[in-house]
Amino acid sequence: MATVTEIAPTALEQEKDLYKLEERMHFLLYQIAECDRILRQAREMEEKLVVLRQELARLAKEYVTLEE
């Protein structure tokens, strides 16, 4: 009976440790997903920036030719 009493607290401690690890893993997965989302948005904004700069260059050319 003494053996069972000694094993039970250890099992309970392991269960708490597993819970803490799982909680930390879920938090890290959430952070990774958030970083992925931000990086995806940044890539999309870089693409949009290229298009906007091209349009600005086109309008600047048009502006110069209309001034002449």
Predicted confidence (pLDDT) per residue in 4-14, tens digit: 555 566 888 89
Q: What is the pTM of this model?
A: 0.66
Q: Is residue 6 part of a domain?
A: no
- Cα(42)–Cα(48) distance, rounded to whole angstroms? 10
Q: Is residue 4 part of a domain?
A: no
- Cα(51)–Cα(53) distance, rounded to whole angstroms? 5
Q: Is residue 5 part of a domain?
A: no
How many domains in the chain? 1
Q: Which domain holds residue 68?
A: 25-68
Extract the tokens encoding 21: 């690890």
Q: Is residue 20 part of a domain?
A: no
- Cα(31)–Cα(40) distance, rounded to whole angstroms? 14
**pLDDT for the residue numbered 6:** 57
Picking from 53, 55, 35, the residue whose alpha carbon sits closest to that of residue 45 is 53
Which one-letter DSSP state was computed for residue 32?
A: H
Q: Is residue 14 part of a domain?
A: no
pLDDT average, residue stretch 21-34: 98
